[in-house]
């Protein structure tokens, strides 16, 4: 009886140890995956002022970035957007390129996070709320004259050729870190945060809702 009880307790300990190892491994894997920038969705949208490239991301700051932020060091991100006409017979044509800089900062006195775009800003009580806003990127309006060619609007143009490619990217701008941190960024991964370019082909239907002038 004693032997059976000892064997049972030994099996329970082994099972508990395995469960704990699994929990620790899961936490490590999810934590490692969370660090970085990943594209959730990207599309072309039509607004009153013209077409915009939009994207949403999952953003996970490294522990080093979070520590620097909590000590008052701002982080600058650059959202990049492009439209390219791919041509088999010649070099690709850049139809549109745009970018915007977003500043993420923390006020130690008010204990609030802030997202700034130029002179516009929003305050947030938590880092999660601030990152949720940072994750939504919207390009400047694509100028109407770039969308109009001799043959008509690009919507008509790509109905024949179907070769317009959009791309978006979000990255941490290490050049705006303090000098000492810039040196660290060159030698380690703690300061590397880049979604890499995400590309997709624009269909005629996406452009043909209406042209930027509002004419159907």
CATH of the domain at 187: 2.60.40
Residue 84: the pLDDT is 86
Residue 147: the pLDDT is 60
Under 8 Å between Cβ of 98 and 81: yes
Under 8 Å between Cβ of 158 and 202: yes
Which of 29, 91, 87, 82 lies closest to 60, judged by CA?
A: 29
Which of 131, 51, 32, 157 lies closest to 98, judged by CA?
A: 51
Sign of the Cα torsion 25, 30, 35, 39 reads positive
- Are 15 and 116 members of one domain? no
- Are 7 and 73 members of one domain? no
Task: Say if 167 falls within a structural domain.
Answer: yes
pLDDT tens, position by position, 118-145: 899 999 999 999 999 999 999 998 876 6
Structure-model confidence comparison of residues 206 and 109, the more confident one? 109
The pLDDT of residue 148 is above 70: no
Under 8 Å between Cβ of 104 and 130: yes
Task: Say if 214 falls within a structural domain.
Answer: no
Task: Say if 107 falls within a structural domain.
Answer: yes
- Are 55 and 147 members of one domain? yes
Task: Say if 216 falls within a structural domain.
Answer: no
Task: Say if 17 falls within a structural domain.
Answer: yes
Instruction: Name beta bridge partners: 123.
Output: 114
Residue 185 corresponds to which tokens in the numbers above? 């960024």
- Rg of the chain (C-alpha set): 24
- Are 20 and 46 members of one domain? no
- In which band, very low, low, confident or very high, does the pLDDT at 27 lie, cut at 50, 70 and 90? very low
- Count up the domains in the chain and report the number: 2
- Are 25 and 105 members of one domain? no
- Mean pLDDT computed over 184-188: 65
- In which band, very low, low, confident or very high, does the pLDDT at 49 lie, cut at 50, 70 and 90? confident
- Are 18 and 64 members of one domain? no
Task: Say if 112 falls within a structural domain.
Answer: yes
- Are 48 and 25 members of one domain? no
Task: Say if 128 falls within a structural domain.
Answer: yes
Give the C-alpha separation, 54 to 77, whole Å: 16
Give the long-range contacts of residues 112-117, CB within 8 A, separation 24 or more.
Answer: 113/69
- Are 21 and 46 members of one domain? no
- Mean pLDDT computed over 203-214: 48
Domain that holds residue 92: 37-207
């Amino acid at each position: 009886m004693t032997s059976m009880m000892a064997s049972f307790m030994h099996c329970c300990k082994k099972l508990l140890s395995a469960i704990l190892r699994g929990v620790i491994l899961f936490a490590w894997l999810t934590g490692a995956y969370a660090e970085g920038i990943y594209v959730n969705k990207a599309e072309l949208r039509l607004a009153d002022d013209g077409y915009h490239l939009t994207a949403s991301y999952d953003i996970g700051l490294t522990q080093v970035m979070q520590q620097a932020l909590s000590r008052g060091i701002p982080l600058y991100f650059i959202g990049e957007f492009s439209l390219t006409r791919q041509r088999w017979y010649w070099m690709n044509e850049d139809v549109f390129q745009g970018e915007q800089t977003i500043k993420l900062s923390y006020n130690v006195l008010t204990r609030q996070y802030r997202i700034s775009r130029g002179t516009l800003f929003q305050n947030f009580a938590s880092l999660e709320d601030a990152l949720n806003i940072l994750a939504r990127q919207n390009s400047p309006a694509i100028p109407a004259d770039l969308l109009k060619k001799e043959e008509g609007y690009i919507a008509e143009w790509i109905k024949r050729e179907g070769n317009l490619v959009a791309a978006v990217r979000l990255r941490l701008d290490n050049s705006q870190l303090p000098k000492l941190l810039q040196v660290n960024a060159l030698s380690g991964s703690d300061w590397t945060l880049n979604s890499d370019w995400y590309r997709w082909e624009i269909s005629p239907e996406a452009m043909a809702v209406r042209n930027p002038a509002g004419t159907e």
